Amino acid sequence: MNSEEIVTPRIITLTSDYGTDNLYAAAIKGAIIQRDPSIRIVDITHGIRPYDTNQAAFALRASIPHFPKGTVHLIAINSNTTDQYVHRVMELGGQFFVGLDDGIFALIAEREPDAIYNITINSESDIQTFPERHVFVQVACHLVQGGVPAVIGRQVEKWVESQWQRPLLGQDYVQGAILHVDRFGNLITNIDQRTFKEVGKDRPFKIPLRSARMDLTRIHTHYSGVPSGERLALFNHMGLLEIAIRHGADGHGGGASQLFGFGVGDTIRIEFEPGPTAGNLL
């Protein structure tokens, strides 16, 4: 096959809070296939907690680096418009995001987007309660087929601001929060490796858990660094601090979430051994 015969894959991803036993995702997929059977549909997740844009943004941030340019991400979270929030398209790094701009675009993007468009095309139905099917599908298919955003919307300069939850930093500590608990019960935090190194400066540390005997005092490079059933801390493929139980899973021997009693939004703290007191020269 020569270079002229290579076709860029047409990919639309779906992220929703529908759950795995809901029919809405099937309706969206059917509508996409009706328009263009060649489009590849990828489920990022339908397990987002209801209306939780922070969790949806986390799932997309973790996934989008692995998709090619031209991919369209359809976001089915909080999709009905209000006086403050409208349907928009965000263009970022050659990929497109279709959804309600309630701050989720700002949470997904680590920088200013390439462009933001208000969606102005008409719904395909008089039913206003399912814009994912009657508006977003139209937009996603148009974009993934190479259509320009200006056809389906008007470019705007502003978006809804929303800052990703940042850890609190002190001279001898980093205090973060749990962003996600995966199906194994692993706790993924908002503390990244760069912050850990900058604050810690190679000092001894502890990560307090349920009791002092469970405190973590070492960062491992892989899960197999401890025996099966033991706790560990590591920086995962996203560079974020993760607390895990090797071979653990909630309901099957216990994952970190179950054993330590932590969930999304709970605080995780790294406490470093205090350094020399500044100014004490005696």
Task: Please tell me whether residue 178 adopts helix, strand or coil conformation.
Answer: strand
Report DSSP letters for 106-172, one per residue.
Answer: HHH-SS--SEEEEE-SPPSSS--S-HIIIIIHHHHHHHHTT--GGGTEEEES-----PPPPPEE-SS
CA 124 centroid distance within chain:
30
Which two tokens mark 150?
């200006």
pLDDT in tens, the chain (282 residues): 454 445 678 999 999 999 977 899 999 999 999 999 999 999 999 999 899 888 899 999 999 999 999 999 999 999 999 989 999 999 999 999 999 999 999 999 978 899 999 999 988 888 888 999 999 999 999 999 999 999 999 999 988 988 667 899 999 999 999 988 888 999 999 999 999 999 999 999 999 997 778 899 999 999 999 999 999 999 998 899 999 999 887 666 678 998 899 988 899 999 999 976 544 333
d(CA 104, CA 124) in angstroms, rounded, equals: 25
Q: Where in the chain is the domain with CATH 3.40.50.10790?
A: 3-156
Q: Are 254 and 168 in contact (CB under 8 A)?
A: no
Alpha helices (H) in the chain, listed in sequence order? 24-35, 53-63, 104-108, 131, 137-144, 193-200, 256-260
Q: Are 64 and 36 in contact (CB under 8 A)?
A: no
Its pTM stands at: 0.80
Instruction: List, in sequence order, every residue forming a beta bridge with 176; answer none if it has no partner.
Output: 268
pLDDT reported for residue 24:
94
Q: Where in the chain is the domain with CATH 2.40.30.90?
A: 168-272
Q: How many CA atoms lie less than 13 Å away from 11 in the CB half-sphere?
A: 19
Q: 236: Cβ–Cβ under 8 A, 6 or more apart, which residues? A: 188, 242
CA 156 centroid distance within chain:
24
pLDDT reported for residue 115:
95
pLDDT reported for residue 4:
46
Residue among 18, 67, 65 nearest 45 (CA): 18
Q: What CATH number has the domain spanning 3-156?
A: 3.40.50.10790
CATH number of 168-272: 3.40.50.300, 2.40.30.90, 3.40.50.720, 3.40.50.10470? 2.40.30.90
Instruction: List, in sequence order, every residue forming a beta bridge with 174; answer none if it has no partner.
Output: 169, 270
Place of tokens 């095309």: 121
Interstrand relation of 219-220 and 87-92 (parallel, antiparallel or unpaired): unpaired
Residue among 13, 149, 134, 160 nearest 75 (CA): 13
Place of tokens 């005997």: 213
Q: Are 258 and 244 in contact (CB under 8 A)?
A: no
CA 179 centroid distance within chain:
9
Other Cβ atoms closer than 10 A to 18: 22
Dihedral (C-alpha) 273, 176, 249, 62: value to the nearest 10 degrees? -120
pLDDT reported for residue 213:
83
Report DSSP letters for 232-246, one per residue.
Answer: EEEE-TTSEEEEEET
